[in-house]
Structure 1
Amino acid sequence: MGQPIFYGSVHVLFYRNDEVLLLKRKNTGFMDGMWSVVAGRIDGAEEVVSAAIREAREEAGVDIDPSGIDVVGVMHRKNTSSEWIDFYLKVKSWKGDIVNKEPHKCEELRWFPLGDLPETVIPYVKSALARNHDRIWFESFGW
Structure 2
Amino acid sequence: MSGAQWLSFAEVTSPTLRAKLLGEQLDGRPEPVNASALIHNGAGSYLLHLRDDRPGIWQPWTLALLGGGRERGDTCLEDTLRRELAEETPGLRLDDLEPYAVEEDTSVDGLHVPIQVFTGRWKGNPDLLDLREGVLLHWFTPDQLDRLRLSPGLADLIRRHAAEHPPRVRPDAAPQVWDGGSRTVLNGIGVHLHLQDDHGRILLGLRHPDVRYAGGSWHYLAGKCEQESATACLIREAWEEAGLVIDPADVELAHAVHVVDSLGGLPLLQLVFRARRWKGSPEVREPDKCVAWRWWPPHELPDQLVPYTRTAITGIAEGRTYSQLGW
Q: Considering the TM-score relative to the shorter chain, is it more than 0.5?
A: yes
Could you tell me how far 1:69 is from its partner in structure 2? 1.2
Paired position in structure 1 for 2:217:
34
- The 5-angstrom pairing of residues 70-81 of structure 1 reads 70-80=252-262, 81=265
Matched residue SS, 1:118: coil
Is 2:197 the partner of 1:53? no
Instruction: Give 1:82 shift.
Output: 1.4
Matched, 1:62 2:234: no
Superposition map of 1:1-143 within 5 A: 2-16=183-197, 17-26=199-208, 27-44=210-227, 46-80=228-262, 81-132=265-316, 137-143=321-327
Q: Deviations over 1:77-128 (max 9, x none)?
A: 1122211011100111111222111111112111111110010101110010
Alpha-carbon deviation of 1:141?
Answer: 1.2
Cα RMSD of the aligned pairs, angstroms, is 1.6
Extract unaligned runs of 5+ from structure 2. 1-126, 128-182
Matches of 1:55 and 1:136, distance apart in 2: 25
- CA–CA distance in structure 1, aligned partners of residues 239 and 185 of structure 2: 31
Letter in 2 for 1:19: R
Question: Is the CA contact (8 Å cut-off) linking 2:255 and 2:316 kept in structure 1?
Answer: no
Letter in 2 for 1:28: V
Q: Distance in 2 between matches of 1:52 and 1:69?
A: 9
Q: CA deviation at 1:28?
A: 1.7
- Structure 1 window deviating more from structure 2 (126-135 vs 77-86): it is 126-135
Whole-Å separation in 1 of the counterparts to 2:259 and 2:304: 19
Structure 1 residue ranges without an equivalent (≥5): none
1:47 Cα deviation from its structure 2 partner = 0.7
- The amino acid that maps onto 2:214 is M
Mapped to 1, the partners of 2:215 and 2:276 lie a distance apart of 28
Residues 25 and 32 in structure 1, CA contact (< 8 A), matched pair in contact too: yes
Percent identity among equivalent residues? Answer: 27
Relative to structure 1, the CA distance from residue 134 to residue 119 in structure 2 (aligned partners, 3 Å threshold; closer, same or farther) is: closer
Query: Is contact 2:315-2:323 (8 Å) kept?
Result: no
Name the count of aligned residue pairs: 142
Stretches (4+) displaced over 6 A: none
Say which structure is richer in helix.
2
Which of the two has higher C-alpha Rg? 2
**TM-score, length-scaled by structure 2:** 0.42
For 2:207 and 2:296, locate their aligned partners in 1 and report how far apart those are by CA, in whole Å. Answer: 16
Return closer, same or farther for 1:63/1:136 CA change in 2, 3 Å cut-off.
farther
SS of residue matched to 1:115: helix
TM-score normalized by the length of structure 1: 0.92
Summarize the Cα distance change of 1:135–1:113 in structure 2 as closer, same or farther, 3 Å threshold.
closer
